[in-house]
Amino acid sequence: MNNKRIVRIIAIILALIMLFSVFMIALNALTAKAVTQAEIDRLRAEKKEYERKKREIQSRINSIEFEKKTEIARKEVLDDRIMLIDLEIDNIDETIGLYEILIIEKELEFEAAQERENEQFRVYKNRVRDMEENGVISYLEIIFDSTDFSDLLARLDFVGDIMQADEQKYNDLIIARQETKAAEERLKQTKLETEEEKRQKELKQVELEERLEEAYELIKAIEADLENEQALRAEVVANEEKIQREINQKVEELRREQERARAAAASSSATRVRGTGQLKWPVPSSGGVSSGFGMRMHPVYKVYRQHSGIDIPAKHGASVVAADTGTVITSAYNSSYGNYVVISHGNGMTTLYAHLSSRKVKEGASVTKGDVVGLIGSTGVSTGPHLHFEVSVNGSRINPLYRL
């Protein structure tokens, strides 16, 4: 009889331990969910802001003023819209990434709930089997084996505890089954939301392709008209010269700043960011050149134009990497170059990356050879996705292929 009592007490203790573990697991799951949900809410708020900005841009496009703008100014507005669509796609990608993590969490949560239900069912089944084998006699034996009235009262309390524990086992089984169903529903809902985000991404990709085509056609129309094409090229040349002057000025400013740092015995940023002089190919996904450095002929008018870099064709959104270690001295937008980044390599050399769909580095940042600095695009004066890549040595542009 004492052995049975000990076994039952141990079973009750084990059940309490298991319930405490279940509580801790549930608490941890709820905490993780709160953090992840906050991230999703942040992304949804960003998405609404992008949609608002797109409506503003569309209003500008629909206005009479847009038609009165120069072609290059209209291209800037189209670039703004394309960049916003890219940001929306990035936002959706990030949201999908979080949902995929959530799916893993919900699957683990469902598995844990299923395991708890199975364990509760096992405990309840064993207790029912024990009751079938012993019936009420086991309870009566506990009462009639009492030695005195005090012992009887203690035994009655114990019988009450056992009966209450039996009822609790049944309730625990019901709760565990409900938790399993709830976890399964949460998993299904998360998967549905993930699929909806993927569907939204497909729609945005279609919209992006349409807007890119619209922007390409605008530049092609400009180039098809001799007067407009000459004005466009004059603006491009002026922008190139202006940007080169800015590059030279910023390189000099950076050099003086680094000299002051060395003079003050600070850790030398020049040492940390100096490049090797041997450049890495800036578009890992593409190895070709669609237009080389130097004079190139206009396909329609057969007029030679100076090309200050090389064009590397690639898929829209492909990664563009730093050709060498250095410091970002420019990360900006220009009507001719579109989104562009300039890196000073601390050895008289700078590299420029133009027509990016988005820039991934800010001015003043230190980058290592191979770090992503932007994504392939067609912003500025461009009729298709590619990287316009320039190399300057001591303030003068050179053929990038000499250093690649």
Q: Is residue 35, in this structure, part of any structural domain at all?
A: yes
pTM summary value: 0.67
Across 207-212, average pLDDT = 90
CA gap 275, 93 in Å, rounded: 33
pLDDT over 50 at 23, yes or no: no
The least confident of 23-27, 66-70, 227-231 is 23-27
Q: Is residue 268, in this structure, part of any structural domain at all?
A: yes
The answer to whether the CB of 15 falls within 8 A of the CB of 122 is no
Strands 386-393 and 372-376: unpaired
66 and 177 in a common domain: yes
How high is the pLDDT of residue 22? 45
The answer to whether the CB of 136 falls within 8 A of the CB of 94 is no
Report how far Cα 30 is from the mean position of its chain's Cα atoms.
23
Residue from 359, 361, 340 nearest 351 by CA: 340
How high is the pLDDT of residue 14? 47
Q: Is residue 233, in this structure, part of any structural domain at all?
A: no
Burial class, 265, CB count within 10 angstroms (exposed 0-12 / middle 13-18 / buried 19+): exposed
CA gap 75, 82 in Å, rounded: 10
pLDDT over 50 at 367, yes or no: yes
The answer to whether the CB of 356 falls within 8 A of the CB of 86 is no
Q: How many CB atoms lie within 10 A of CB 67?
A: 9
CA gap 390, 310 in Å, rounded: 7
pLDDT over 60 at 320, yes or no: yes
Q: How many CB atoms lie within 10 A of CB 243?
A: 21
The least confident of 16-25, 217-226, 300-309, 345-354 is 16-25
158 and 88 in a common domain: yes
Among the three residues 162, 190, 222, which one is the final residue of a domain in this structure?
222
Among the three residues 189, 222, 255, which one is the final residue of a domain in this structure?
222
Residue from 335, 341, 371 nearest 79 by CA: 335
* 70 vs 324, more confident: 324
CATH of the domain at 281: 2.70.70.10
pLDDT over 80 at 114, yes or no: yes
- Joined together, the tokens standing for residue 196 give 């909806």
323 and 187 in a common domain: no
68 and 193 in a common domain: yes
- For residue range 214-266, list pLDDT tens digits in order: 888 888 887 777 667 777 778 888 888 889 888 988 888 888 887 787 776 55
Q: Is residue 82, in this structure, part of any structural domain at all?
A: yes
How high is the pLDDT of residue 276? 83
88 and 191 in a common domain: yes
283 and 375 in a common domain: yes
Q: How many CB atoms lie within 10 A of CB 183?
A: 22
Burial class, 307, CB count within 10 angstroms (exposed 0-12 / middle 13-18 / buried 19+): middle
pLDDT over 80 at 19, yes or no: no
207 and 255 in a common domain: no
Residue from 199, 10, 35, 194 nearest 100 by CA: 194
Q: How many CB atoms lie within 10 A of CB 273?
A: 22
Total count of domains within the chain: 2
52 and 197 in a common domain: yes
- For residue range 145-169, list pLDDT tens digits in order: 666 656 656 665 655 555 566 667 6
The answer to whether the CB of 360 falls within 8 A of the CB of 373 is yes
The amino acid that residue 300 corresponds to is V
How high is the pLDDT of residue 55? 79
Q: Any bridge partners for residue 372, and if so which?
A: 321
Q: Is residue 236, in this structure, part of any structural domain at all?
A: no
247 and 216 in a common domain: no
Among the three residues 173, 191, 222, which one is the final residue of a domain in this structure?
222
Domain range for 291 is 243-402
Across 317-329, average pLDDT = 95
Q: Is 23 helix (H, G, I), strand (E, B) or coil?
A: helix
How many DSSP H helices and E strands does the chain contain?
A: 7, 11
- Cα distances from 280 to residues 217, 324, 370, 373, in angstroms, run 33, 6, 7, 13
Q: Is residue 304, in this structure, part of any structural domain at all?
A: yes
250 and 135 in a common domain: no
Q: Is residue 227, in this structure, part of any structural domain at all?
A: no
Q: How many CB atoms lie within 10 A of CB 220?
A: 12
209 and 60 in a common domain: yes
| DSSP character at residue 377 | B
Q: Is 248 helix (H, G, I), strand (E, B) or coil?
A: helix
Across 340-351, average pLDDT = 93
CA gap 160, 141 in Å, rounded: 14
Helices 149-224, 71-134: axis angle to 10 degrees equals 160
161 and 25 in a common domain: yes
Across 287-305, average pLDDT = 73
Q: Is residue 235, in this structure, part of any structural domain at all?
A: no
